[in-house]
């Protein structure tokens, strides 16, 4: 099979986006938040944790702590207890409090709107910053690369890179900039609902004709198709 050119891959990516938009017209960030600070806190908490679990914790957390000042001045032991249901809660509580102290001291309690300022905060990496910028401020600086985006980008043959930073760079070259944030949501929704980590539902996939693995699965008898999907 001839190697796909960048132009061809870009065109296929646009078709993938169109197909996923039809499949998931309401795709959005599934963390619950009402303002940039809440999204920042929720995203920090979401590392190695499901959005569902984070939303359970933040339902009460955001009622109790309504500002960066509240997080910054809370007794640390109390803040720890308030996020205890989250994995790595001690480190996350520490980072949240440290970040909020900087927000209070340097930004009057507001969340900054640049990549450099956000990633300078405790517990905030590029992925978290991209989530906040894209969803809270509608600023497309990069592409969020979480486990779903990583997995689907490889299955769709959009990248061969192994690190989030390099995967993001590849995706930025083939996804329209104004759709960087949406593209992540589309892949995440598809990864949670169809393209599972184990035994993806290729036969019912909405973009199977645009997926090299999907096309291979479709070309096999049912028993061999299932065996391949279990190996993916």
Closest CA to 88 of 40, 54, 60, 65: 54
- The answer to whether the pTM exceeds 0.75 is yes
What H or E segment, with its residue span, contains residue 210?
A: none
> In order of start, what are the domains of the chain with their CATH numbers?
6-27+144-231 (1.10.1670.10), 36-136 (1.10.340.30)
**What is the mean pLDDT of the segment spanning 163-186?**
97
How far CA 5 is from CA of 2, 35, 207, 208, 231, in Å, comes to 9, 41, 20, 20, 27
User: Between these two residues, 217 and 138, which has the higher pLDDT value?
Assistant: 138
User: What confidence tier does 223 reach under pLDDT thresholds 50, 70, 90?
Assistant: confident
CB-based contact 115:133 (threshold 8 Å): yes
Q: Percent of the chain beyond pLDDT 70?
A: 100
CB-based contact 86:57 (threshold 8 Å): yes
CB-based contact 152:184 (threshold 8 Å): no
Cα–Cα distance between 204 and 44 in angstroms, integer? 34
> Which own/partner pairs from 125-128 qualify as long-range (CB within 8 Å, at least 24 positions apart)?
126/164, 126/165, 126/168, 127/164, 128/40, 128/43, 128/44, 128/47
Q: Percent of the chain beyond pLDDT 90?
A: 89
**What is the mean pLDDT of the segment spanning 109-114?**
98
CB-based contact 89:82 (threshold 8 Å): no
Question: Catalytic residues, which ones?
Answer: 127, 146
**What is the mean pLDDT of the segment spanning 174-187?**
98
Residue 1 is predicted with a pLDDT of 52
**What is the mean pLDDT of the segment spanning 82-100?**
96
> What is the token pair recorded at 86?
């989250």
pLDDT in tens, 140-157: 999 999 999 999 999 999
């Amino acid at each position: 099979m001839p190697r796909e050119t960048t132009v061809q891959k870009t065109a296929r990516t646009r078709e993938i986006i169109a197909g996923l938009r039809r499949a998931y017209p309401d795709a959005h960030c599934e963390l619950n938040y009402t303002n940039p600070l809440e999204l920042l806190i929720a995203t920090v908490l979401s590392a190695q944790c499901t959005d569902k679990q984070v939303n359970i914790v933040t339902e009460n957390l955001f009622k109790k702590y309504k500002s960066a000042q509240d997080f910054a001045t809370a007794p640390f032991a109390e803040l720890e207890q308030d996020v205890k249901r989250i994995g790595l809660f001690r480190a996350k509580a520490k980072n949240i409090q440290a970040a909020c102290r900087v927000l209070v001291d340097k930004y009057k309690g507001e969340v900054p709107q640049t990549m450099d300022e956000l990633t300078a905060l405790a517990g905030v990496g590029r992925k978290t910053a991209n989530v906040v910028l894209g969803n809270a401020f509608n600023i497309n600086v990069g592409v969020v690369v979480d486990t779903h985006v990583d997995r689907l980008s490889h299955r769709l043959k959009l990248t061969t890179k192994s690190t989030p930073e390099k995967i993001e760079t590849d995706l930025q070259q083939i996804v329209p900039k104004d759709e960087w944030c949406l593209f992540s949501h589309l892949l995440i929704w598809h990864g949670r609902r169809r393209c599972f980590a184990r035994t993806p539902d290729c036969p019912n996939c909405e973009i199977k004709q645009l997926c090299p693995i999907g096309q291979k699965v479709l070309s096999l008898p049912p028993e061999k198709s299932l065996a391949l999907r279990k190996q993916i």
